Chains A and B, each alone.
Chain A
């Protein structure tokens, strides 16, 4: 552990490590993630999904990158193949849940108020308002924000991060926490690429690789139905992988979850 091996002692903090404990005081070693309560709730949510064989996908992006549009198009194309349900946490457009229900699948709107991210408790609350019987894929549309949603585990199995071509292709370099957490990246609104001279998908991909992230980067336009087959196949693969894991009694978490904690207590 850190305190015994001294691996995280720096000249700045050494004084705290060796500060003598005063009488009547005690120093307790904790070594717990600050978001432990959220993580415990997330594990509980994941158990709900696993017991039903559901694949849960967390969608994250800036506001307006096309999360809801991608869901609408996906449901239209695949609702005969999978049973899909959606938890809407995006507060930018209050009618997102309505847009999803219009496609004929169940959607629950989380009222986030002014919250800038979803957390595992909000998602759990939403789960208890939904009938998940027979659902294959649950999409959780997070609040449009590239900062904090990446820090809160919701119990999802995979993270999908969207980057629309109307944003800069350097977004992954500006928001490394978010793009490092992505199990897959979607470059959205590619129908607009011919009108934009400053978004290079190869450059965006290279910024993702600079984060040591091997995630597939898929380019698509939900509106013009371009590149959707690759995305559908990715979804099919994820669902098959999830099912075989669940059948074997195991589960998975997004590929990159904070692991510094694990390494430090090892």
Chain B
């Protein structure tokens, strides 16, 4: 239900990046999303084109990478996978755990199409 607000925030963030880098448009973007972020990947994927219409991100592909739910046990120290509503240690069953992964909502990277003007910025970063 709030995925449109999240998509709008995402588009705003990448639009700023386009302006900052003096790029032409956004080719693709990669978002890491965990089930405990409260954002449903399919709904975000559906909302993205609506938020992106008429922006530099209009033709961008959104790659959603789903993060697994993993917990670190404070009792026995094990790190195990868990269900989003049972964050119990997979080894000893204790509930005194800490989430290691699963609540992410992170814009990891953006691939930009550069204009002639962006000069030295064509140097690939990251990857």
A residues near B, CB below 8 A?
Answer: 2-3, 8, 10, 12-13, 16-19, 21, 23-38, 116-117, 119, 145, 147-148, 150-152, 172-174, 176-178, 180, 207, 209-212, 214, 258-261, 263-264
Contacts and interface: CB of A to CB of B under 8 A. Distances in A.
Given A21-B124, A27-B112, A34-B39, 10 more contacts: A8-B65, A31-B107, A34-B107, A37-B13, A176-B85, A176-B87, A210-B85, A211-B85, A212-B97, A260-B67
9 contacts: A26-B23, A37-B13, A117-B2, A117-B5, A119-B5, A151-B37, A176-B85, A177-B37, A212-B95
Interface string B70-90: 010000000000001111100
Contacts of A178: 38
A261 B2 contact: no
Contacts of B45: none
Contact of B106 (A21, A214, A261): A261
A257 B112 CA distance: 31
B98 A212 contact: yes
Contacts of A209: 95
Interface in B2-23: 2, 5-6, 9-10, 12-13, 17, 21, 23
From A3, A148, A178, A212, name the one whose CB has the most chain B CB atoms within 10 angstroms: A212
Interface residues of B, number: 57
A3 B126 contact: yes
Interface string B21-57: 1010001101110101111000000000000000000
Given A32-B107, A260-B102, A210 B95 contact: yes
Contacts of B65: 8, 10, 12-13, 16
Contact of B2 (A21, A26, A116, A263): A116
Given A177-B38, A210-B87, A151 B2 contact: yes
Contacts of A12: 65
Chain B facing A: main interface SS:
mixed
Given A16-B63, A36-B13, A210-B86, A27 B111 contact: yes
B10 A34 contact: yes
8 closest A-B pairs by CB:
A148-B2, A29-B126, A260-B104, A177-B38, A151-B38, A176-B85, A212-B87, A21-B124
A6 B17 CA distance: 24
B91 interface: no
Nearest to B30: A16
Contacts of A8: 32, 65, 67
A119 B8 CA distance: 13
B104 A35 contact: no
Contacts of A38: 9
